Amino acid sequence: MDYISSTGQYFIMIKDTFKRFTKGSVLRNLIIQEMNDLTVRSLGIVVFISFFIGAVVTIQTALNLNNPFIPKSLIGFAARQSIILEFSPTFVSIIMAGKVGSYITSSIGTMRVTEQIDALEIMGINSLNYLVFPKVVAMMFYPFVIAISMFVGILGAYAAGVFGGFVDGDLFLRGLQEDFVTFQLVYAFIKTIIFAFILATVPSFHGYYMKGGSLEVGKASTTSFVWTSVIIIVCNYIITQLLLS
């Protein structure tokens, strides 16, 4: 029953987030600040991980191509498919659930512990709109982060394949272009937008409704990461089944 009530409470939170809007100038400043905290500051870790995962995908693919009848261009094809379809939209989002999700839960949870949320309500401010709405809007720019992840991942794959001596640059680029379906990018970015909404709202839910003191803030952050990751993985399956099957 706790899961059912929590699910209902989550959807009520989303509904209340889009009611009684805070003053426009205040919201604009909050959105800009959240964009910096949630997306811009995450670029470093996303670029670093994307480059080396792209490189690893290329090396593993190349080492498993033992058959001389299989063209080396398949290395570029496999790298493109792996990075665009799964790695960048899904696995980067799970990594972001740890970084961004924990930050959101701990920041809102600290405000709950220190009674700052109660103070906002006393002043007549819709605390959910004030705290959660800017995060939702800021995370709508998350697809740009994933686009950078895709580019850097493929760049890392190219660097590892060519400079590692596994494949010629021309063959890699040929494989990169083989059988490319534009809808695969559409699918990846649809997933990304849904994941962005999950990354903004699920950690906010765990931070906003947490109970206890400072010790519980850490527990709420851990729980938030687990549930955000689980929901992303389940949604990934459902979206893939709906759009690609």
42 closest CA partner among 150, 139, 130, 109: 139
Provide mean pLDDT across the span 99-112.
90
Amino acid 171: pLDDT: 87
Domain boundaries, the chain: 24-244
Q: Which amino acid appears at position 162 of this protein?
A: V
Would residue 15 be called left, alpha or beta, if left means φ above 0 and alpha means ψ between -120 and 50 degrees?
A: alpha
Alpha carbon distance, N-terminus to C-terminus of the chain: 34
Residues 6+ apart with CB under 8 A from 58: 75, 79, 156, 157, 158, 160, 161, 164, 166, 167
Amino acid 111: pLDDT: 87
Q: How many CB atoms neighbour CB 146 within 10 A?
A: 25
Provide mean pLDDT across the span 79-102.
91
Q: What confidence tens digit (pLDDT) does each residue in 47-86 have?
A: 999 999 999 999 988 888 777 777 888 888 888 999 999 8
Amino acid 67: pLDDT: 73
Amino acid 244: pLDDT: 83
Tokens of 148: 């950078």
Provide mean pLDDT across the span 38-45.
90
Give the residue with greater pLDDT, 188 vs 167. 188
Per-residue pLDDT band at 23 (split at 50, 70, 90): confident
Q: What DSSP line would sit under 186-211, residue for residue?
A: HHHHHHHHHHHHHHHHHHHHHHHT--
- Is the pLDDT confidence value at 103 over 70? yes
Amino acid 84: pLDDT: 92
Q: What confidence tens digit (pLDDT) does each residue in 121-132 have?
A: 888 888 888 899
Provide mean pLDDT across the span 163-179.
85
Mean pLDDT of the chain: 89
**Alpha carbon of residue 238 to chain centroid:** 17
Amino acid 104: pLDDT: 92
Q: How many CB atoms neighbour CB 234 within 10 A?
A: 10
Long-range contacts of 29-35 (CB under 8 A, 24+ apart): 30/130, 30/134, 31/134, 31/137, 31/138, 33/134, 34/134, 34/135, 34/137, 34/138, 35/138, 35/141
The answer to whether the CB of 117 falls within 8 A of the CB of 204 is no
CA-to-CA separations, 212 to 35, 227, 230, in angstroms, rounded: 29, 20, 25
221 closest CA partner among 140, 135, 100, 139: 100
Q: Is the dihedral of CA 31, 34, 40, 43 positive or negative?
A: negative
Per-residue pLDDT band at 166 (split at 50, 70, 90): confident
Q: What confidence tens digit (pLDDT) does each residue in 135-159 have?
A: 999 999 999 999 999 999 999 999 9
